[in-house]
Every structure is written in structure tokens, then in C-alpha cells.
Chains A and B, each alone.
Chain A
Amino acid sequence: MEKHYTDSKVKGVSTGTTILAAIFDGGVVIGSDSRASIGGEYVSSKTINKVIQVHDRIFCCMAGSLADAQAVIKSAKSHLSFHSVQMESPPLVIAAASVLKELCYKNKDELQAGFLTAGWDSKKGPQVYVVSLGGMLISQQVTIGGSGSTYIYGYVDAKYKPNMTREECLQFATNALALAMGRDNVSGGVAHLVVITEKGVELKLVCSLIELLLIFHEELNE
């Protein structure tokens, strides 16, 4: 049997993962799957959390090489906390995203990491930023990343609506992650979701994805 190369040949090294961030009315949801695999053959962790908190109301998801991403985030966290002390106020979401972008762009030859940054600040409310592999920074209302994201572009395009309620957005994010995990063999496990609003941060762990998959793949019910 030939060895099939998945996205790692097309996109460069990609963490087997699915990450997602979406803005709803009053906040933002950011989430990921929980599988870490070696070479797509062995699941080294079933419950790894890929959503990292970089400040009180700012979270990041990593894509690309996990090692590079962790190093960048560590550096970004210390930059941000220093910045926040200097400004005497919580950092803006775009500040966090820019710090990541600077690190990715200045070191683009050595690094292979991209990020989704989501958070809430008092100036612009809920925001989502994407820092791509080469160091581009753009703001979007909904965005997906990782190898599993390929399979849910159609779903996200069709189902995302601006100004959803918190519950609708959570259901949308859960469905999207479940569908991606159902098709991508290097994404899986549980869904880690974080809801960020003006009031605070709420962490959700969704384990019942098997039930969702049963609904989506009706033929399993026969």
C-alpha cells in the first residue's frame, strides 16, 4: 500500500489538529481537539489542551510545529505581561496577536508555527486574529486551522452567521470540531472550548462527541 501524505506535504509540517475560533454576539469561542499523534500512526496524547491562555481574556490556539509554537507563546506571554504592566491596563487582543506576528515574521526562516488568537478587550470587544505561517496578521470573524480544518471549510462557510447567541455559537463550534474529527485521523479525542466575554472566561470540555457523530453518520444507526 502506498504511503499517503496528507496535508503535511502540501502545507509543510502541520500538527494533526483542528482549531477554530468564532465571534458571537458579545464574545468569542475558541476551541480545539485534543489529540497529539506521532507520524499519524500513534496517538501520544488523547487529552492534550491546545488552547493556551496568554492573558486574562486572551487565548491562543497553535498550529504547525508544536515545539515552535510553544516557544513562541512562552516568549509572547512574557512580552505581553511586561507590556500590560507598562500600559497599566490589560493588553488589547491585537497587541497579543501582533506580538505573535512579530516573532513569526522576524524568524520566518526558522519557525513553522501559526496561531489563532481570540479574546475580548474594552476597546473593540470580541476579536479573532489569525497569524499565518509566514507572519501575516489578519482579523476575521470566524476562522479554522490545522489539518482537520480542510474538511470543515464547507460546513463553516454554510453555518456560521454573524451575531449568533452564545449557545448557538457553542453548538456550531462543537459540531464543526466533531465533523473534522470524524474525517481527519490525526484529530480526535474531546473538544476543548473556551468562551470569552466581557464578564470573564469559561472553559468547557465536550466529551459527548460520539453522540454527535452518530447523529451525523446516520448509517451507523442502522
Chain B
Amino acid sequence: MLGEAEPQWLSEEVKTGTTIIAIEFNGGVVLGSDSRVSAGESVVNRVMNKLSPLHDKIYCALSGSAADAQTIAEMVNYQLDVHSMEIGEDPQVRSAATLVKNISYKYKEELSAHLIVAGWDRREGGQVFATLKGLLTRQPFAVGGSGSSYVYGFVDAEYRKGMNKKECQQFVVNTLSLAMKRDGSSGGVAYLVTIDEHGTEEKVILGNDLPTFFDQ
């Protein structure tokens, strides 16, 4: 509607316009993300892994401004290392989420990144935390990024409590696939991370292996 004179990528910052999702199951969590990084209309990286480890069994999913999100993840990674050495054991997921929340809240005017923190610890098992704009809330599942708008209806309808690990992984892959099809800023491949008490498993699902739905 309002015409812009210059091409967008000259003035647009690099964003992980993205789709991210994390879901809790009995015994762990599954995180998923797409792999597209865009600067306006241009795709500057089509294979970026937006699932970043904060600790052995705690990961975060990045969305929003790529630089802001990566910086927050690195800072929290460092802070968590120090913290886990101080307490002498693996940190709780809630601690990691609180550290992310503290940075998001303190610098909320300067930063524009949303991280979803998810992981497994001995006390509470699998947990997913959303930290949008400095809010800290534990949820059974969380979606974020520009692509998430298109799949709110789908996740509302399809999420059921008490899904097992395989069902959660399929749910995440389906959601990512639907969002990537509709959101111009999401695409590429799907990255999946499954965390439970036995360990962390990372998986990549290439574009042509993603599930397809009704195509008009």
C-alpha cells in the first residue's frame, strides 16, 4: 500500500523470520525450527539451525532479530556454565529460562528477539518456557516466530495432553511443515531436537521429506 522506494534488503535488518515450536511430553521435550534467515525479501541463510544449546539438556529456540537472539543465547550459555559450576550439578530448566527472561526484560526496548527455552532436568522432567518480552511462563507447548501465526489454529486443535515422544515429534514436524508452506519468512529444512533423561538427539528433516497436506 505505502510504496517503498529502495529494495528492502538494504534497509532491513537480518531477522530469523521463523517458525519455532517446543512441546513437552512425559519424560522430556521436543524442540523444532525451520532454517531460513531473511533480510527483507532476500534469504541470506537457508540452513541455519535455530535450536541453540544452553546446556547439555537445555536448548533454546531463536526467533526475531538474528543478532539479538544469538547474543542472548551465548550470554545465557556462559551464565549457565558458571551457575552449574557453582551449584555443582546440572542446572534446572527454570534457571536457564529465568536467565533468558532477565536479559529480555532488562533490555526489552533495545532487543527484539523471542527465545523459547526447553529442556529436561531431574526435578521437574521435561519443561517448556516462553520468554516473550520478558514474561516467564511455563506452558505445555509454545510456538513462536512469524510463521507461528498461521498455525495457531492447527496447534490449538491438534494438541492433546499425554502424547508420547513419537507423537510429539510428528506433531512438531507437521506444524513446522504447515507454517513453512504459508510463511514467506520460514522455509528450508526442519531441525528437531529431542531431550529426555537419556540424552539429547538432534535430527534434520530435509525439505522434500517433510509431510505434505492438501495442495490446491
CA distance A219 to B138 in the complex (A): 13
Give the one of B140, B156, B175, B182 with max A CB within 10 A: B156
**Contact digits for A148-170, partner B, Cβ 8 Å, 1 yes 0 no:** 00111111111111100000000
CA distance A151 to B152 in the complex (A): 5
Determine the residue in chain A with the shortest Cβ distance to B154.
A154
Q: From the candidates B1, B154, B156, B181, name the one contacting A217 in the complex (CB within 8 A).
A: B156
Interface majority SS (helix, strand, loop, mixed), chain B: helix
CA distance A216 to B153 in the complex (A): 9
A157→B152 contact, CB < 8 A: no
A151→B178 contact, CB < 8 A: no
At the interface, yes or no: A97 with Cβ under 8 Å from chain B?
Answer: no
Shortest beta-carbon distance from A89 to chain B in Å: 29
Determine the residue in chain B with the shortest Cβ distance to A138.
B216
**Contact digits for A130-143, partner B, Cβ 8 Å, 1 yes 0 no:** 00000000001110
Number of interface residues of B (CB under 8 A): 24
At the interface, yes or no: B174 with Cβ under 8 Å from chain A?
Answer: yes
At the interface, yes or no: A182 with Cβ under 8 Å from chain B?
Answer: yes
CA distance A150 to B182 in the complex (A): 9
B214→A161 contact, CB < 8 A: yes
Q: List chain B residues, Cβ under 8 A from A154.
A: 150-155, 175, 178-179, 182
Interface size band for A: 20 to 34
At the interface, yes or no: B161 with Cβ under 8 Å from chain A?
Answer: yes
A179→B153 contact, CB < 8 A: yes
With contact pairs A12-B1, A157-B178 given, residues A175 and B150 touching in the complex (Cβ less than 8 Å): no
Q: From the candidates B157, B174, B178, B216, name the one contacting A179 in the complex (CB within 8 A).
A: B157
Q: List chain B residues, Cβ under 8 A from A141.
A: 216
- List of 8 A-B pairs having minimum Cβ-Cβ separation, nearest first: A154-B151, A154-B154, A152-B153, A179-B153, A155-B153, A154-B178, A153-B150, A151-B152
Interface residues of chain B, those whose CB is within 8 Å of chain A, are: 1, 140, 149-161, 174-175, 178-179, 181-182, 213-214, 216
Interface residues of chain A, those whose CB is within 8 Å of chain B, are: 12, 140-142, 150-162, 175-176, 179-180, 182-183, 216-219
